Amino acid sequence: MFPAYAHLSAYDRHKKLVNDYLTVYGKSVSSFTRDTSRDKTDYDVIRENHKFLWEQEDIPDTWGAKLAKKYYDKLFKEYCICDLTYYKHNKVALRWRTEKEVIVGKGQFECGSKTCKEKENLRSWELNFGYVEHGEKKNALVKLRLCPECSVKLNYRSQKREVKRGKSLKRLDTNSESSNDVATVSSTLESDNRAEIDSRSAEIQSSENTDTNESNIWKEKPTEDAEKTREKEFEEYLADLLM
């Protein structure tokens, strides 16, 4: 360090060096301004690496891709939010919903258009969203909840497929019928099992009775047939003659 700067504080020394530099080289203070043209915020990084759909095999390999994937995981992907500004040119912008929008019901209980606040008579639409991402054309099947006015804008050029609740009700009816069939089959099986159990118990009881009778026979004393002697037989013969 130069002896002339030894008694100065760090800040005063800095100002002295800058002043000497400007005096010697004849430049202005603007030459010390940092170039911010290449600076990027988190929003810029996410926008560069963002994907509308991340597949399971997509593994982020850079810091920017990891940041974009982390942001993607926080989005809710049941319904979309749309921008219908250029609907007459058949151009519709779509994005997934954030947590705040899900809490207030935007896109499900409120019209999914970015600028619409309608909550009555909403209709569900399913459309094939075609977009270009990083120079590659892709497609995704998404769902929208729109009010009647925004639904007209969405179908301005081509009719989209409307998702109705009748199908889900029909599925519920089918499930109930199948459950009834299952209940009938199960009740039939239960009755068959009960009949089989009753028959088995009857067979077991009859076999037990048979065993008891046989055991009683062996317990009883054998009845000895009194052998008739020849004298008794002769006496009976005479008694029959004299009668």
Average pLDDT over the chain reads: 78
- 1 by Cβ neighbours in 10 Å (0-12 / 13-18 / 19+) ranks as exposed
Residue 217 pLDDT > 80, yes or no?
Answer: no
Average pLDDT over residues 29-48: 84
Q: 183-197 b/e with 16+ CB inside 10 Å = b?
A: eeeeeeeeeeeeeee
Q: Domain extents for the chain?
A: 1-32, 41-74, 76-170
Range 87-93 contact pairs with CB under 8 angstroms and sequence separation of 24 or more: 87/153, 87/154, 87/156, 87/157, 88/156, 88/157, 90/156, 90/157, 90/158, 92/129, 92/154
Range with lowest mean pLDDT among 29-38, 98-107, 111-120: 29-38
Look up the pTM and report it: 0.56
| pLDDT greater at residue 103 or residue 194 | 103
pLDDT, tens digit (0-9, with 9 covering 90-100), for 121-167:
999 999 999 999 988 999 999 999 999 999 999 999 888 888 887 54
pLDDT tens digit string along 91-114? 999 999 999 999 999 999 999 999
CA-to-CA distance for 10 and 17, rounded, in angstroms?
11
- Residue 29 pLDDT > 80, yes or no? no
Alpha helical stretches, state H, the chain: 10-25, 42-49, 63-73, 99-104, 148-154, 165-219, 230-242
The pLDDT score that the predictor gives to residue 197 is 62
Which pLDDT band holds residue 235 (cuts at 50, 70, 90)?
confident
pLDDT at 22: 81
Band of the pLDDT at 211, cuts 50, 70, 90?
low
pLDDT at 46 over 60: yes
> Is pLDDT above 60 for 25?
yes
Q: Which pLDDT does position 101 carry in this prediction?
A: 94
